[in-house]
Structures are given as C-alpha cells and as structure tokens.
Structure 1
C-alpha cells in the first residue's frame, strides 16, 4: 500500500512538473524512477512526456537515459508520445539519447513521423525530418504512405508541408492501388481534393486495382451535399488526361527547318533542272527552256509534278505551323503531319527522277536505271507504310484518350490494342514524371 502511495505522489509530481517534489521522492528511493509503472505499462518518462513537463524529462534522462527506449503496452516509445502531443523540445532531448527511436513503430505500425502527421503537428514534422527524410518514406499497414495518412485523417496543413518536401510520394499508391485522390474522395475531403488538384503533382488519371478511378468512386458514393459533389466532380474533371495535341510530339523548329529545306529543294530543282536550260533559241527549242524537257520528256513530266507536290505541301506545312493551328485542332494537326510526309515523299520521287535524267543510258532497260527506280520505289513505299502506320497509331491514340476521358472499360479490347494502350500509358507517365522533376 505504501508503494502505491509513493507511486501516486510520483505521478502527481511528474504530471504537475514539480521538480522539487520529484527530487525528494527520488532521494528517498533511488530505484523509484526505474521501477515505477503506471497504466498501460508506462514509465515516468512516458508520463512526463505526455504532460509536456520538459524539466522532469531532463531529470529522468539524467538518471536513466535508457528509459527513452522503453515501450508501453501500445508499443509506443516516449518519442511517439512527444510526436502525438507536439512537444518539440522534449523530442529533441529524447532523440539526443535515443536517436534510433525515430524508426520504431507502435502497435498501429506507425513511427513518430506518421504520428506527428496524423495529429497535424507541422513544427514537430520539421524537427523530425531535419536529420533525414527517410522515416517519412516508410509505409504503414496496407502500403499507405505518410501522405495517405494525412488525407485519411484530414490533415491538410501537414499534407501541404510534406507534399512540398516529399513530392515523389504524391502519386504513390497503396496495396489497393489507390492514390491520394481516391482517399480524398472516399473521405469526402473537399479542401484536400482542391489542394491536390492545384498542386500539379498528381498524375492525371489512375485506376485502383479493381479498375476504378476517383471520379467513378465519387459517382458511386456521392457526398451528402450537391455543392460538394459538383465541386469535387469539377476538380476531378480537370485532372482528366491533358489534350491529345499537347501529348503528341509538337511540330517544333526542327520540323520547320525540314519543310523549308524541302521547299527550297523543290523550287531550285524546278527553276534549275538537271542539265540546265537552253541558252539560245533554235528551231527545236527556245532559250530558258529546260534541256531535260526535250531529252527526257517523260521523266521531266514526273519530276515537275513531284516538285510541285513537294513545294505546295511544304508551303501548307509552313503555313499551319506558323499560324499555330495544329495546337488547337486535331484535324489541323493531322493535316500538318500528312502534308509534311507528302512533301518528303514527293521530294524523294523528284530525286529519283533527277538521277534517271542525268545517268548515262538511263533507259528503262538499263541495270542502273532499275537500281535507281528500285531505290526510289522502296523509299516511297516505306514512307507510305510509315505514313499509314502513323495515321493508324494516331487514330488509336485519340480513341484511347477519348475512351479514358469517358471512363470506358478497355479491358475487353483485343490483346494487341491493350498492349498499345499500355505503351501509351507508360509514355504519358514518363512525360508527367519528367514534368514533375522539372518543376
């Protein structure tokens, strides 16, 4: 009975921060600090930390610093308690004698960083992450990150702080494949969803492991108020995949250089054809006329047509690029790409015709002519095949983007198409990741 009274007096002294009374009790029984045990198997240091009594914590650590490594019945160390209460100064003293406790987990599988995050103690988080951010990278049960915990417990402030330091975790998923967006919708956290939508660190769209997006979850379990539902739906709509035009490779300055070069080649090949022009007038020709038009009229006719196609299609491409029309319409984008490919094909045909015109004995039966024609035909066919494949793949890409925008099920499509969808998704993820790194 006497021991219980002493422990009660000790508990009162520690709870109130009465250092004098604490020292008197310890002088009477030097083993009191080591042996005293309170509810939930907590020792003196647990109680002093819980009550925020920094002076008592200092006294206890001087007497027995190993108490900082003792766990209570909840597997919580004194540092866990300090993190839960937000006692930064006490946590400094605890870490000075037991730094390893920053990694220890309680019965809920959380380390002190997780505990501070779910309780909204921003200053405590800053202190715990001063030395190393690695404890914050640890996952808890169900594979959730510390950011998942912030969303789950509605801690917007801590999410903003940690999101700035641990941006690479913003797009991570748990064991169910759910992102922060999924959890925000499930928890009806409108403010957090607004922050996630404005952060530009969330991948545009992601399904969980049962194939549902955050928007589908919202539609299946809408919040109580129509206003909240409308706002959350609006935010999630803005996070749909970006415009297909922005994801496709842009027609940049290099493309402009190519088409300008083709236009120059076509123009020069027309006004200054192979063999030059007649310099004098005669009964059979006039000065300024192309020599090849008389020596190889058939070849000249096809070369002139090819040059015209290359020149006109290059001008069309230049016009579309300079006006910026491909960036506002898929139709203009496809027109630009087809015009550019047509100019390349036409200039290749013109080149072949020029070779035939200036090659000795370039008749249809000569071996040299056959080789040249074969090369030109092969090149032309290759470009046509590439053009066809490009148009088809682009069409499939637009179809994939449209269907994902409308949350359609893609798992029933043929295997080749699903493989192509997987490639599209991987490319888009890499593009978004690179943008996040650049930011």
Structure 2
C-alpha cells in the first residue's frame, strides 16, 4: 500500500519540479515510483514533470529508474508524448537518452511522439526525434502518414523539415484511405504556400488521382470558390496539372499564332488553359442578384411608408368626416394623383423584382433576363425620384417653392437622363446579342483562302 501523505507530496514535488523532495521520499520509500507506476494513473511523476518541462526532476527520476520512460498512462502515452506535445527540447533529449525506443511508442490513437510534435508544430522537437529514430516518421496513423497530419494541421515548416530529412519520393506520394496525396489535402484546404512548396520544391505527383479518380484540380472545384482559387489554379497549371474529369479545361495551342504551310519545324507548346467564362458569368450574376435584392427591399420599404404616410400627413379631426384621409388629397388633388401613381409604380416594380429573384426560375441565370430586371429597377428608381419631387413641392412654402422647384427639377431631369442613357446602352447590348447568330459568328472566324490558278 502507498502512503497517502507521501503520494500527495510526490505529486506536489512533480508539479513544482522539486528534486529535493523527491530524494527525501525515495530515501523513506525506495519503491515509491514503482508503486505509482503500477496504478497507471494520469498523474505519474515523470509524466507530469515531462509535461511541465522540469528537466532537473526528470533527470533525477531517470538516473534512478530509467525504465519509467516507457511507462504508459491510461491513454497509452509515455512521458516522451507529453514532452513532445509541449515542445520541451531538453526533456525530450533526456528521455531519448534513457530509451530511444520511446520515440516509436504509440498511444491509444496510434500516434507516436513524433506525430504529436508534428501536429503541434514543435519544429526543434521534430528535428531531435527524427535524428534519434528516423523510421518513426514512417509509422502510419489510420492509413495516414505524418505528412498528411502536417498538411491537415497546416504545419508547413515541419512538413518542409520532414521532406528534406527523408527525401523519399514514394513516401512523399503515399495516399491515405481515400487515395488522397498531401497535394490533394493542401489544395482542398487552399493552403497556397504549401501547394507552392510541394509543386516546385518536391517530386510530388501533380496529376495523381484519388479513389474517386479526382486530381487536385478536381478537388479544388468541389469547394466554395474564392480569391485563393485563382492563385492555386495558376500554380497547378504552371506545374502541368490536369483535370481528369474535365480535360477540356486544358487545350493544346500552337506556340506561334501564325504557322506556315509546308513548314517542317512547327512547334507546339502544351499550355493548360482554364476556362473561367462560365465561372465569371456566374459570379457576375450572383453579385447582380444580391445587389438587386438589397436595393429592391429598400425601395419597397420606402414606397410603403410613403404610401401609408403621405406628405402633409392625414386629417386628425373627424368633425367633417375626413379623419384618416390624406391632407394632400384636398389641398393638392392633382399632385396627389401624380404622387400616388409614381409611388405605386415604384412599389410594384420592386416587389416584382423581389418575387422574381426568390422564385429561382432557371431563365434568371442568363444575362439577358438580368438586364431586364435592371430595366425594371430603373423604372422603380425613376418613379421614386418623381415621388420625391412631388413630396418636396407639396411641403415647400410658395415663396421658396418656385426657386427650389426649378433646382430640383433640373437635378431630377439630369438624373433621369443619365438613367435613360444606361438603359439605352443595355438595350443596344441585348439587340446585339439577339442579332448575332451562330452562322455569323462562324463566318467571322473563317480565314479566307486565296487559291492561285496557274
């Protein structure tokens, strides 16, 4: 049986890293460390001291009981696991000196201390462990190499160290359970620096495919697109990356744009060419749809508030049966009619845009129909500008009304003229699209050939 008081003092000494207390306890009970190890608890002294980096305490234990460096806690971890995770290089060296085989000891998850250090990014610890036991880096964890773990946890510097230390082409291109190389993982996670290093500083196989037949470019296309995609695609194309599922993304182009008939020295340079037209078109449509939705919602809200609370307000007195009716109806009947028509047109136009955008109809994915929605938005904005003009005219006193009215009229007319030019420009573009037939486009691409008769 272990004395409870001594056990508590041993635990406190390991936490504080006090070798003097340890020596005192060993004098009273030389087997106290062995007795603690039998329980296989998580608070074993050497594990605690290794985790906290108490090198003197660790050396004191190893000098008396070097075999304790291979004792496991409840999770199957040896003290080297703890020191490697925390990056205590001095403790790691001491534990390796006591027993280098601790480097290949695996915990319950199948990870050895080198795996733990790599995942945590402990560069100096990884260097020491690889120097002591190079073959520990080749141990697999659930069909993944230590290189896969480095990429998954974005530890580029450790990845560089391991690749430079091992220099093994076959191990570099090892695949995981899904057939993914470390390049697949780096591209999927959009680690630009890692992708650049692998492509231009290693012998990674650029066009390796996984169990689904997907190359790294295929994997990139499956995720959400952002600005990093263009950089990664540029790197992959420079490294001759091929899209196995869509080889039309790449095409052979002649090195010189002009080739001479009868020449035997025509050279072709195979350059991957990524077609981004469809992607750019989709991005453009998404931005336009989002913009139209936001602006339409704002204009619809403004029009609703203006319709339910017109300029000058409503009658509050019900003595003549007018309570709740617009004051503008009686004071400015003609202007109120104009106000009501313009406000209603703006309100209905924006509601129509919102309804079309949320309907998800397939024809809305074309630029032509998006231009139609923009024309409707022009009508809505023009109507709201007229609504504003009528409202200000009603609310402005007569002495100042004429001057203000002339200024506002001029500004509004200029603005409406600008909008008219924009609509005209879009209309011309639509007409050009409809008038361009496939036959005319083919004719435009035909190079005339002159045959000389002799």
TM normalised by structure 1 equals: 0.53
Deviations 1:94-152 (A, max 9, x none): 222222222221112122221211111111121112244222122221x2211111001
Q: Distance in 1 between matches of 2:47 and 2:85?
A: 12
Q: Say yes or no: does 1:122 pair with 2:140.
A: no
Which protein, 1 or 2, shows the higher relative CO under an 8 Å CA cutoff with sep ≥ 6? Answer: 1
User: What SS does structure 1 have at the residue aligned with 2:131?
Assistant: coil
Deviations 1:186-241 (A, max 9, x none): 33433322322332432221111111112112111125xx2223323332333334
Instruction: Judge conservation of contact 2:117–2:123 (CA < 8 Å) in 1.
Output: yes
Q: Say yes or no: does 1:26 pair with 2:15.
A: no
Q: Distance in 1 between matches of 2:81 and 2:134?
A: 17
Deviation of the 1:56 alpha carbon = 0.8
Q: Distance in 2 between matches of 1:85 and 1:335?
A: 68
Alignment correspondent of 2:107: 106
Deviation of the 1:9 alpha carbon = 1.9
| Change over 3 Å in CA distance of 1:114–1:153 after alignment to 2 | same
Q: Distance in 1 between matches of 2:199 and 2:259?
A: 30
TM normalised by structure 2 equals: 0.51
| Change over 3 Å in CA distance of 1:28–1:171 after alignment to 2 | same
User: What SS does structure 1 have at the residue aligned with 2:72?
Assistant: coil
Provide structure 2 residue ranges, at least 5 long, that are not aligned to the other structure: 243-253, 276-454
Q: Say yes or no: does 1:190 pair with 2:192.
A: yes
Q: Distance in 2 between matches of 1:31 and 1:89?
A: 26
Deviation of the 1:25 alpha carbon = 2.2
Q: Which runs of 4+ in 1 moved over 4 A?
A: 37-40, 326-332, 334-338, 401-406
Instruction: Judge conservation of contact 1:95–1:101 (CA < 8 Å) in 2.
Output: yes
Q: Distance in 2 between matches of 1:34 and 1:27?
A: 14
Q: Distance in 1 between matches of 2:149 and 2:240?
A: 24
Alignment correspondent of 2:211: 209
Deviation of the 1:175 alpha carbon = 2.6
Provide structure 1 residue ranges, at least 5 long, that are not aligned to the other structure: 243-325, 339-393, 407-439
Q: Say yes or no: does 1:138 pair with 2:139.
A: yes
Alignment correspondent of 1:44: 45
Alignment correspondent of 2:347: none
Deviation of the 1:59 alpha carbon = 1.0
Alignment of 1:51-62 (within 5 A): 51-62=52-63
Instruction: Judge conservation of contact 1:222–1:229 (CA < 8 Å) in 2.
Output: no
| Change over 3 Å in CA distance of 1:179–1:330 after alignment to 2 | farther
Q: Say yes or no: does 1:71 pair with 2:48.
A: no
User: What SS does structure 2 have at the residue aligned with 1:129?
Assistant: helix
Q: Distance in 2 between matches of 1:41 and 1:92?
A: 22
Alignment correspondent of 2:370: none
Instruction: Judge conservation of contact 2:100–2:132 (CA < 8 Å) in 1.
Output: no
The aligned length equals 260
Instruction: Judge conservation of contact 1:182–1:213 (CA < 8 Å) in 2.
Output: yes
Q: Distance in 1 between matches of 2:182 and 2:69?
A: 34
RMSD between aligned alpha carbons?
3.3
Q: Distance in 2 between matches of 1:185 and 1:39?
A: 42
Q: Distance in 2 between matches of 1:7 and 1:28?
A: 12
| Change over 3 Å in CA distance of 1:165–1:191 after alignment to 2 | same
